[in-house]
């Protein structure tokens, strides 16, 4: 089982993640991405889905037209883990 990050490890991880913020209530990280239109947002979600499936770790997300909101937390661990941080890096890398 994956373990929750300590507050120190969480803070260090957030310092290395561009534009991700911490949701203390959910012990999660989140970010909103904005695209030119719905097709671009959906294409991005498809790329994220492939990364998430390969990692066997899936985001909570919402798409409204050209915006995609992503929240990452590990339910089985009860909060933020290294798996969430790794997926956030992968998502950031493909966001352009």
Instruction: Please compute Rg for the chain using Cα positions.
Output: 13
| Catalytic member of 57, 69, 82, 89 | 57
| Catalytic member of 18, 25, 56, 76 | 76
What is the reported pLDDT for 96?
Answer: 73
The whole-number average pLDDT for the span 48-71 is 97
The whole-number average pLDDT for the span 61-75 is 97
| Catalytic member of 11, 53, 60, 93 | 53
pLDDT band (50, 70, 90) for residue 25:
very high
Is 57 catalytic? The answer is yes
| Catalytic member of 23, 37, 58, 60 | 58
The whole-number average pLDDT for the span 44-59 is 96
What is the reported pLDDT for 1?
Answer: 65
Is 53 catalytic? The answer is yes
The whole-number average pLDDT for the span 44-62 is 96
pTM: 0.93
How much is the mean pLDDT over the chain? 95
Secondary structure E strands in the chain: 21-23, 28-34, 60-64, 67-72
Is 89 catalytic? The answer is no
Look at the block and give the residue holding tokens 């904005």: 34
What is the reported pLDDT for 2?
Answer: 83
Which letter does DSSP use for residue 41 in this model? H
The whole-number average pLDDT for the span 67-76 is 96
| Catalytic member of 3, 60, 84, 89 | 84
């Amino acid at each position: 089982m994956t373990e929750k990050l300590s507050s120190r490890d969480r803070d260090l991880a957030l310092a290395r993640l561009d534009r991700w913020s911490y949701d203390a209530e959910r012990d999660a990280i989140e970010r909103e991405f904005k695209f030119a239109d719905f097709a671009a947002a959906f294409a991005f979600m498809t790329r994220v889905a492939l990364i998430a499936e390969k990692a066997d770790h899936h985001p909570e997300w919402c798409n409204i037209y050209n915006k995609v909101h992503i929240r990452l937390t590990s339910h089985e661990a009860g909060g933020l883990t290294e798996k969430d941080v790794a997926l956030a890096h992968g998502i950031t890398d493909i966001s352009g």
